Amino acid sequence: MKTPNFNEIYQTISKLVKNNPEDILLRICNLLKQEVYHYDWVGFYILDPLKNELVLGQFAGKPTPHTHIAVGKGICGQVAESGQAMIVQDVTQIENYISCGLDVQSEIVVPVMKNGRFVAELDIDSHSPAPFTSEDNEFLAKVCDLLVDHF
């Protein structure tokens, strides 16, 4: 299990964004899942402001039954409500956690903010115990900043 080179991955994503392929969000999900050993499920949830819910967009990993999540519910809903990233090293400690599978031990969710408003988020589940660091958070925040215009 090698340490991910976040700089290298960021450069690859940056090039993808410049080339702007049609399936950019799916490509980024696949790249992150493939390049970072502790990213077992990677997906984007997009805000539907009329229904005040998150709708699952592109993702890489096992299909999830959670295609719509109310703002405020679970980790994803809390990030949508607060506009602040959340790292949860042990999902069993979260009261209103929405489980995507028995394998999931930890989760990080990073918001995509456009003109100061929440528009989407990047959600990553890990089957590893407590793998996320501030480095993951900073890297994923930079990735989300790159993608603002895709939402």
- Residue 91 has a pLDDT of 84
Residue predicted with more confidence, 106 or 21: 106
Mean pLDDT of 113-123: 97
Whether 1 is in a domain gets the answer no
For residue 63, being part of any structural domain is answered with yes
Q: What is the pLDDT of residues 25-76, one digit of tens each?
A: 999 999 999 999 999 999 999 999 999 999 999 999 999 989 999 999 999 9
The reply to whether 40 falls in a domain is: yes
The CA distance from 135 to 92, in Å, is 23
46 assigned to some structural domain: yes
pTM to 2 decimals? 0.94
Whether the per-residue pLDDT at 124 is higher than 70: the answer is: yes
Average pLDDT of span 75-82: 96
**Residue 99 CB partners (closer than 8 Å, separation 6+):** 91
- Average confidence (pLDDT) over 87-115: 85
Answer whether residue 31 is part of any domain.
yes
| Residue range(s) defining the domain that contains residue 31 | 6-150
118 domain residue, yes or no: yes
How many domains is the chain partitioned into structurally? Answer: 1
Over 70: is that where the pLDDT of 99 sits? no
Which residues, including other chains, have CB under 8 Å from residue 21's CB and lie 6 or more apart? 27
CATH of the domain at 34: 3.30.450.40
**Which helix (DSSP H) or strand (DSSP E) does residue 13 occupy?**
helix 6-19
> Beta-strand (E) ranges in 25-101?
41-48, 53-60, 68-70, 86-88
The percentage of the chain sitting over the pLDDT mark of 70, rounded to a whole number, equals 93
Q: What pLDDT is attached to residue 8?
A: 95
Q: Supply the DSSP symbol for 31.
A: H
CA distance 87 to 81: 15
Q: Is residue 128 part of a domain?
A: yes
Would 62 be classed as within a structural domain?
yes
Q: What are the residues whose beta carbons fall under 8 Å from the beta carbon of 22, sequence distance 6 or more?
A: none
> Is residue 119 pLDDT above 70, yes or no?
yes
